Amino acid sequence: MSVFEVGSLHVPAGELRHGRLTATTSASGQVVSVPVSIMHGAEPGPVLLVTGATHGTEITGTRTLLKLIARIDPARLRGTLISVPVTNPLAFDRATYASPEDGIHLGMPCYWPSDPAGSPTLRIGAQVRSLFDVATHYIDLHNNAEPAVPMSMEFAAQCSSPEVRQVQRAMAEAFGVTPVLMTDPEDGTAEKVGSVDGQPAAAASAHGIPGLMVELLDEHGHQGYEAGVRGVLNIMSKLGMLEEPVAPQLMERLQGSFTYHGVLTSRESGVLFPVCDPGTVMEQGSVVAHIVGMDGSVLEEVKMPVTGFVWAFLTTAPGGGSFAVPEGHAVGFVAAADV
């Protein structure tokens, strides 16, 4: 089998190579580059691209990918795994969600179109785009702060063909955490947390690359990244890249099907106290969180707008703020149970 080439990286069959994609130069002259590990299997097969730290504060995907490559023997791999443990080094290095340089994060449309002459984050996007140009499948690993439950995001409407959608669906089932079908709700969600269309996994699916976005758990123990490792290995098995059968996830997934409903929004300001376990199906009207004022009284009961589940609560800064919430703040994500 031939050498796998992308940019200046050349990887012989049956080998793992680590390289970097040079993206931009900082004001003081530091070269900013994206770390990439490519495991090129001994036999031909799919080219799976997996990204971590698309958002710089969300490093469970980084931990997943650093552990994952040690668990696969390239001599037994069919196809190629492209691992990008830190997709946005500008944000990762400063523990920020978006890049401080330009306020852009890679969950925004940075790959289609890509802009190699744009601001620093867009230049990173243009380098990462070169990996999409050789990939056949894509997984984007994110995470939420606890309390939260791991879930995956499917983008059916964005898929370029029924075949792409079918593969995306199979990837979601194989990953093994509860899948949620993502659509833009009519609650201003796109203004609050970004449009579904702009997500890299949605954009990849629109360009013929079946893509899955996954929200893992932000925790410093092992369960967050072990669920990620298990999920990616499962997708590789499902795609025929590994011999091992698809294995059960570490946590149970919810039965039934779910569609994104939108964000919970606080009416009052105060401190957010979740009062439900994320990942538990609750009836419409059930109280899921309290907003507590400075005298300790409950100023607001945040209720389920539909029957379904909360997968995470939202902090004031995406991916790294606190539960001190202003009035009218997005405080959680809701998936509605399909009936």
Give the footprint of Zn ion on this chain (CB under 5 A): 55, 58, 142
**Looking at beta carbons only, is 58 or 268 nearer to Zn ion?**
58
On whether the CB atoms of residues 325 and 291 are closer than 8 A, the answer is yes
**Looking at beta carbons only, is 79 or 107 nearer to Zn ion?**
107
CB of 282 to Zn ion, least distance (A): 24
Beta bridge partners of 268: none
CB of 287 to Zn ion, least distance (A): 27
On whether the CB atoms of residues 35 and 18 are closer than 8 A, the answer is yes
Token pair 């996007």 is at which residue?
A: 125
Looking at residue 95, the DSSP 8-state letter turns out to be T
CB of 55 to Zn ion, least distance (A): 4
**Looking at beta carbons only, is 50 or 77 nearer to Zn ion?**
50
CB of 197 to Zn ion, least distance (A): 16
With b for 16 or more beta-carbon neighbours within 10 A and e for fewer, the 8-23 pattern comes to ebebebbbbeebbbeb
**Looking at beta carbons only, is 45 or 125 nearer to Zn ion?**
125
Question: Could you give the C-alpha distances from 58 to 175, 294, 296, in angstroms and in order?
Answer: 19, 31, 32
CB of 244 to Zn ion, least distance (A): 29
**Looking at beta carbons only, is 149 or 239 nearer to Zn ion?**
149
Compute the distance between CA of residue 151 and CA of residue 223 in angstroms, rounded to an integer: 14
Token pair 């707008």 is at which residue?
A: 305
CB of 98 to Zn ion, least distance (A): 10
Taking CB atoms, the residue at the shortest distance from Zn ion is: 142
CB of 54 to Zn ion, least distance (A): 6
Residues 6 or more apart whose CB falls under 8 angstroms from that of 198 comprise: 107, 108, 109
**Looking at beta carbons only, is 202 or 241 nearer to Zn ion?**
202
On whether the CB atoms of residues 274 and 291 are closer than 8 A, the answer is no
Compute the distance between CA of residue 148 and CA of residue 131 in angstroms, rounded to an integer: 31
Single out the residue of 119, 49, 133 nearest to residue 90, CA to CA.
119
**Looking at beta carbons only, is 58 or 154 nearer to Zn ion?**
58
